[in-house]
Amino acid sequence: MAGLGLGLFMSLPVGCGSVDGGCDAGSNCICKGFGQCSYDCPDGGCALTCEGAGACDFTCEGGGCDVVCSGQGQCSLACAGGGCNMSCSGTGACELTECTEGCAVACSVGACESSCTDPSCSKS
């Protein structure tokens, strides 16, 4: 019975547990499962997704990133390049920082924060 339990545990999706990686422009990079997951998109234009119960930290220096957070964990995006969109539909908390213009945050269930005060930014 212990082997069955261990086998079941090992088959659970652990996703990006403790991953720190890069995401190329035009790519879709996904964090899912448990653990800390970080993706950096230096050239901008990335699609970033956060699923599961882990914490996701994304950076988008080039701007123009689209982030979807549907998990139960913390999801943050630092968008120094501006023009990022963040959609939060999970029960976790979402935070958008470093964006100075053209960013949008949409939150349907969890708590969402945005530090952008420019009129071109929106929060719903």
Q: Using one digit for the tens of pLDDT, what is the confidence trace for 65-99?
A: 999 999 888 999 999 999 999 999 988 889 999 99
Of the chain, the end-to-end C-alpha distance in Å amounts to 49
CA distance 23 to 14: 19
Look at residue 6 and tell me if it is in a domain.
no
| 112 within a domain of the structure (yes/no) | yes
Answer yes or no: is 82 within a domain: yes
Read off the pLDDT band of 50 (50, 70, 90).
Answer: very high
In a domain, 45, yes or no: yes
Residue 19 in this model has a pLDDT that exceeds 80: no
Helices then strands, each counted (H, E), the chain: 1, 12
Question: Does any domain span residue 60?
Answer: yes
How many domains does the chain divide into?
Answer: 1
Q: Has residue 27 been placed in a domain? A: yes
Q: What percent of the chain has pLDDT over 70?
A: 85
123 domain residue, yes or no: no
Separation CA 117–CA 23 (nearest Å): 27
Residue 87 to residue 121: CA distance in whole angstroms = 14
pLDDT bin (cut points 50, 70, 90) of residue 18 is: low
Q: Would you say residue 7 lies in a domain?
A: no
Is 24's pLDDT higher than 60?
yes
- Residue 71: which domain range? 15-116
Q: Which of 84-88's residues contact partners 24+ apart within 8 Å by CB, and which partners?
A: 84/60, 86/112, 86/114, 88/112
